[in-house]
Amino acid sequence: MTTQPVKQFETFPNPKPARDFHIHMEIPEFTCLCPKTGQPDFATLTLDYIADEKCVELKSLKLYMWSFREEGHFHEDVTNRILDDLIAATEPRFMRLTAKFYVRGGIFTNVVAEHQKAGWQPAPRVELSRFHGQSNTRG
């Protein structure tokens, strides 16, 4: 059975919608074409999000990413387009897409695009110390 690239996402219900939890995905094989030269551009994409009611299904994410392989896009455009499509499909509380494109002409390009749902505020960050309450002396 052949699987084809698609420009849509499948989603599934967030298993814990009452809790903010961080979903982190790394997509190390993203490719599209340079709109000026037609040469391939390669990037590692990092998706971080806090779901509201829906999560993105991984196979559909893979097929969506594959759909850019034969298309010409500027780095800034493709990063923001992917983020916009993910937001439309999942309506997250927070989402950040980081695109780290490999060197081209001696220049690395990193594009970071974010979305935050109106009214949502992140919980304060908690830092846990490994050595809190422990002594460095031997007795």
Q: Are 48 and 22 in contact (CB under 8 A)?
A: yes
Mean pLDDT value of segment 80-103: 98
pLDDT in tens, 59-72: 999 999 999 999 99
pTM of this prediction exceeds 0.85:
yes
Catalytic residues, by residue number, are 34, 41
Is the pLDDT at 138 greater than 90? The verdict is no
For the residues of 68-94, what is the DSSP string, one character each? TTT-B--HHHHHHHHHHHHHHHH--SE
One CATH from 1.10.3720.10, 3.30.1130.10, 3.90.420.10, 3.20.20.80 for 43-120? 3.30.1130.10
Residue 1 binned pLDDT confidence (cut-offs 50, 70, 90): very low
Give domain limits for the chain.
43-120
The better pLDDT of the pair 131, 104 is held by 104
The Cα 42–Cα 31 span in angstroms is 5
pLDDT, tens digit (0-9, with 9 covering 90-100), for 12-36: 999 999 999 999 999 999 999 999 9
* pLDDT range class, residue 126, cuts 50, 70, 90: confident
Distances (CA, A) of 13 to 77, 92, 103, 123: 29, 12, 38, 22
